[in-house]
Structure 1
C-alpha cells in the first residue's frame, strides 16, 4: 500500500512540476510577444486546457471504437503550442526582440483555441461500445409430455370382439380350460366370470344377447354344459 501511494505521489509531483514549468514558459512567451498583464497569464491556461480536453475526448472516441481524428488534431496543435513555447524560451529566441511572425501566432491563438474548444465541446459524446444484445435463450427443455398411461393387463381385458355365433364352414378351435368341470351342470367361478365377460362383450359389440351355446363353445365346454352357461348369462 505504501509503495502504491509513493508511486502516485511521485507522479503527482512530477505532473505539478512539469505543468508549472510549461505554464511559466507560455506566460513568458506571451508577455514577450506583446500580450502583457492578465492576458499573459490566460495564454498558458488556454493551451493546457485545450491539451487536456483534446486528450480526454480522443481517449473516449478510441474506447468507443470510433474515429478520433478531430480530437487528435487539436491535441497535436495544443502540444505544438506548449512545446514550441518551452523551446523558444530555452535561449534560442531573444525575448527582447520577438519576430513579427511569432507575434502574429500568439495574437491569433485565442481564436484558434476558441474554435477548437467549441468543436470538442459540441462533438456528440459516445457512451462506449454498444453492449451485445442479449438474445433470448432458447428453451432447451423438452415439451411437456403427459405420462404414458400404463397399458392394462391383457388378461384383464375381454377377448377380442368376435362373432359368438359359430360359422359352420370354419370350425372354431376351443380355448383350453384350466380344469374340466367336476360335475355336469355346474361351473367353477373362473369360467362363470369368463362366460359373463364374453357375453358382455358380445352385447356391447352387437347390441344383442349372447348365444349360450356360442359362449359354451368359446369356453371349450361340452354341449351338456350349455344349460349351465345359460344359467349364468
Structure 2
C-alpha cells in the first residue's frame, strides 16, 4: 500500500513539474508572439491564458459530455483549433529550421499530451493485495455474475411511546400508543 502511494506521489510530482514547465513555455511563446505583432503586454498574457487554458477546459468538457452521452463534435473541433493555435505560436517563435520547429513544438505537445493523459485516465481504484487478489483475475473470459436481489423488507421504523402506569385494580394491559396489534382493526377511534 505504501508503494502505491509513493508511486502516486511521484506521478503527481512529475505531472506537475512537466505540466508547469511546458505550460509556462507555451504561455510565454503565445505571449511573445502576440506582443511581437503589436499587441500590448497584458493582451499577450490574456491571449496566452485564453489559448492554453481553453485546451484544458475543452478537454474537460469533452469528458463530461461523453459521460452524459451528449455529442462532442463541435467541442472537439474547438479543441483541435486551440491546439493548432498553441502549436502555431510555438513554431512561429522558433528558429526557421526543422529542428528549431521541432524543439519549439515540444512544450505545446507535452502540455497537450499531459492534458490528454490526465483527462483520459480511468478513476483511481485501490488494487487488491496479493492475499486479496480475486480468483477471477486469472480468468481471461470470466462468466457474468448474477446476483439475486434481496427480498424487500418493510423498513418502516417502529416508534414506541412510553406506557402510562396502569391504575390500581385495572387488569387490562394496552399496547403502547402508536402500536397496533395485528389482530385488531386499525379503524379504532381515539
TM-score range, shorter chain: 0.3 to 0.5
Question: What is the TM-score when the length of structure 1 is the normalising length?
Answer: 0.38
Determine which structure has more spread, i.e. the larger CA radius of gyration.
1
Greater relative contact order (Cα < 8 A, sep 6+): 2
Question: What is the TM-score when the length of structure 2 is the normalising length?
Answer: 0.47
